Amino acid sequence: TRRILSGVQPTGSLHLGNYLGAIMQWVEFQNTGKFFADPSSSGKEDGEEDAADDDGDGGIVVVNENFFCVVDLHAITMPQDPNELEESTLASAALYIAAGIDPEKSRVFVQSHVPAHAELAWLLNCATPMNWLERMIQYKDKAKKAGGGGDSIGVGLFTYPVLMAADILLYQADRVPVGEDQRQHLELARDIVRRFNNEYCRGNSYKARCKRAGLASRPAFTEPEAMIISPGGGGDGGTGGVARVMSLTDGTSKMSKSDPNDNSRINVLDPPDVIREKIKRCKTDSFAGGIEWDNPDRPEATNLLNIYAAVQPHRSREELYEEVKGMKWGDFKPLLADAIVAHLGPIQKRYAEVRADEGYLRRVLNEGANAADEIAQRTLKAAKVAMGFSIPK
């Protein structure tokens, strides 16, 4: 069994960065068993058994199990309006499905519906050194923006990456498809695994505790690997996905939900006229002689071409570049807007359908949470046995 897990925070509306950096890659993996990010660079062969893989299938038939979580516990690390959190949570789950996540093939669930996330996060909080978290770039950035620590930010923002590690480790996930900005968090999760397995999952006393609890004495956690799209876009000659989608108003900072200027991003649910207007107004440059890809002095050009390619994953980079390289911005922008509108249109239509049937959405989330809970409880028990807790009989 090969498990993958990923998640998006239900804060505000999901944008092209979330979609092209993460969700589009989830859908690709669900449907093809491959990532846009090149799996051959992972150093791990398909079907290779993991230390804590719990069904010992011998690696002949690879079964993919996909878990996609709406991480509402993460959302509250920054202030959230209690009147909006539930709606954003349902909206995010509906968008996963609208984007192509098929509940028959993948589990979709809400983080707070599976209590083991918060519980394992506590155990890991106690097993993770402070200074590992002090190094986290996102924490430093967000704390700075929120006014520099003290009483302006909660403890949760600091331990956020530990909760993220818990999300991943609970499912023994070996692959985690995310955007570039999550790389450091994934490294931390790997460090936590190594430290925990090394400290708690060795020796005869560990074996004895496992035996008493009826568990096989293997390491409690699997080391997860980040799956991040390579800079040139997706594999197999196509494009698809972008590891780092940049802001429409500044090609050097990433597209983000927290930018107060809505014109800096395209939201997946923006209507066509809004998308066209945002693209019309987006920042470009005044270089002469056409549009270029990958010129470090032209971050906006690279970003807009990346988006243009990613929303047309069936076309190669070469073909696209031939089409647009001689164009002026005024010619290219309407093409880009059309391509985005054409790609997002079916997703928006399906989103409306999913949202119209709340019974269906709730059923999917309940089934997802039940399936997730079953696996999560097994890992949580293993972690507790490793740390020496009394297990109720």
Question: Looking at the annotation, which residues are catalytic?
Answer: 142, 254, 257
H or E, element range at 69: strand 64-70
Quote the CA–CA distance of 369 and 376 in Å, as a whole number. 10
Burial of 262 (C-beta count, 10 Å sphere; 0-12/13-18/19+): middle
Quote the CA–CA distance of 282 and 236 in Å, as a whole number. 31
Q: Judged by CB under 6 A, which stretch of 17-25, 200-208, 357-365, 372-380 contacts ligand TYM?
A: 17-25
Side by side, which strands form the sheet with 225-227?
106-110, 64-70, 2-8, 175-177, 225-227
For residue 88, what are the CA distances in angstroms to 71, 92, 111, 266, 303? 11, 6, 13, 17, 28
Asked if 4 interacts with ligand TYM (CB under 6 A), we say no
Asked if 117 interacts with ligand TYM (CB under 6 A), we say no
Is there a contact between 379 and 171 (Cβ–Cβ < 8 Å)?
yes
Of 66, 89, 106, 182, the residue at the interface with ligand TYM (CB under 6 A) is 182
Asked if 179 interacts with ligand TYM (CB under 6 A), we say yes
Helices (H) and strands (E) in the chain, counts: 15, 5
Residues of span 186-225 touching ligand TYM by CB under 6 A: none
Of 1, 2, 9, 266, the residue at the interface with ligand TYM (CB under 6 A) is 9
Asked if 71 interacts with ligand TYM (CB under 6 A), we say yes
In the bound state with ligand TYM, the residue whose beta carbon lies nearer, of 246 and 361, is 246
Q: Judged by CB under 6 A, which stretch of 128-136, 181-189, 266-274, 288-296 contacts ligand TYM?
A: 181-189
Q: What does R_g of the chain's alpha carbons equal in angstroms?
A: 22
Q: Judged by CB under 6 A, which stretch of 42-50, 174-182, 286-294, 296-304 contacts ligand TYM?
A: 174-182
Among all residues, whose Cβ is closest to ligand TYM? 21
Q: Which residues contact 308 (CB under 8 A, 6 or more apart)?
A: 320, 324, 332, 335, 336, 339
Tokens linked to 1: 């069994």
Asked if 343 interacts with ligand TYM (CB under 6 A), we say no
In the bound state with ligand TYM, the residue whose beta carbon lies nearer, of 190 and 325, is 190
Residues of span 231-270 touching ligand TYM by CB under 6 A: 242-245, 254-256
Asked if 369 interacts with ligand TYM (CB under 6 A), we say no
Of 1, 6, 128, 217, the residue at the interface with ligand TYM (CB under 6 A) is 6
Distance of CA 274 to the CA centre of its chain: 26
HSE-CB at 117 with a 13 A cutoff on CA atoms is 23
Quote the CA–CA distance of 110 and 89 in Å, as a whole number. 8
In the bound state with ligand TYM, the residue whose beta carbon lies nearer, of 228 and 341, is 228
Quote the CA–CA distance of 89 and 7 in Å, as a whole number. 12
What phi and psi values does residue 69 have, to the nearest 5 degrees?
-115, 140
Q: How far is the CB of 61 from ligand TYM (least distance, A)?
A: 26
In the bound state with ligand TYM, the residue whose beta carbon lies nearer, of 27 and 176, is 176
Count of residues in contact with ligand TYM, rule CB under 6 A: 27
Is there a contact between 224 and 186 (Cβ–Cβ < 8 Å)?
yes
Asked if 88 interacts with ligand TYM (CB under 6 A), we say no
Asked if 74 interacts with ligand TYM (CB under 6 A), we say yes
Bridge partners, 69 (sequence order): 7, 109
Q: How far is the CB of 353 from ligand TYM (least distance, A)?
A: 24
Asked if 168 interacts with ligand TYM (CB under 6 A), we say yes
What residues make contact with ligand TYM under the rule CB under 6 A? 5-9, 17-18, 21-22, 71, 74, 164, 167-168, 176, 178-179, 181-182, 185, 242-245, 254-256
